[in-house]
């Protein structure tokens, strides 16, 4: 398989990843509880203080994740369990350009293409001035864009009216002001 075929298969995976998710927004379970589960800023999932080592388990949990307001839940048709999320539930550690589109790979192995539906945004800490870049993975669930992926976006960016902008599929996303 050629490099081009590999890249186009990423676009296909991103489309499949989004289509194959359970309909968590439709489920209205009667049982609600809190559990001792936390997702750290680096994307590590913890249960009762210990990291969850099984990647397939984390990937499965990620498919039943729901956000309502500032709260995150693991939800099934029979129960809704509140969990803690330090920042964003996912980390987008890799980005590639494919056919004019930016394809991100998350820590749970899913793929998302930056678009109007999956925007990139950068929040700046008012105290430190540090940028925190995000991409919307699905609905209102974000991935923190990892440092190396963010640097790659900066490298691909272009100046537009004193701002650094990166484009994906014809949609421009502002990464910050140029100094």
Please state the three-class secondary structure of 73-99 as a single string.
Answer: EEECCCEEEEEEECCCCEEEEEEEEEC
pLDDT in tens, 45-67: 999 999 999 999 999 999 999 99
Half-sphere exposure of 174 (CA within 13 A, CB side): 9
Q: Which residues pair with 59 in a beta bridge?
A: none
Asked whether residue 7 carries a pLDDT value surpassing 70, the answer given is: no
Local structure of residue 114 (DSSP, 8 states): -
pLDDT in tens, 143-166: 999 999 999 999 999 998 889 999
Q: What percentage of the chain has pLDDT greater than the value 90? A: 70
In this prediction, residue 177 carries a pLDDT of: 80
Give residues with Cβ within 8 angstroms of 120, minimum separation 6. 102, 114, 133, 134, 135, 145, 153, 166, 168, 173, 175
Q: What's the whole-model pTM score?
A: 0.87
pLDDT in tens, 19-28: 668 888 888 9
């Amino acid at each position: 398989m050629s490099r081009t075929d590999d890249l186009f298969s990423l676009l296909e995976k991103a489309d499949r990843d989004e289509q194959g998710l359970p309909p968590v927004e439709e489920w209205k379970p009667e049982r609600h509880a809190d559990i001792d589960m936390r997702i750290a800023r680096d994307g590590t999932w913890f249960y009762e203080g210990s990291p969850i080592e099984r990647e397939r388990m984390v990937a499965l949990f990620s498919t039943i994740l729901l956000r309502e307001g500032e709260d995150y839940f693991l939800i099934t048709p029979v129960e809704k369990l509140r969990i803690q999320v330090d920042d964003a539930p996912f980390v987008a550690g890799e980005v590639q350009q494919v056919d004019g589109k930016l394809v991100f790979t998350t820590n749970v192995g899913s793929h998302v293409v930056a678009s109007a539906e999956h925007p990139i945004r950068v929040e700046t800490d008012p105290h430190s001035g540090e940028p925190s870049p995000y991409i919307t993975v699905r609905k209102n669930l974000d991935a923190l864009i990892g440092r190396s992926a963010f640097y790659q976006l900066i490298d691909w960016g272009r100046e537009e009216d004193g701002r650094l902008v990166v484009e994906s599929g014809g949609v421009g996303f502002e990464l910050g002001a140029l100094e």
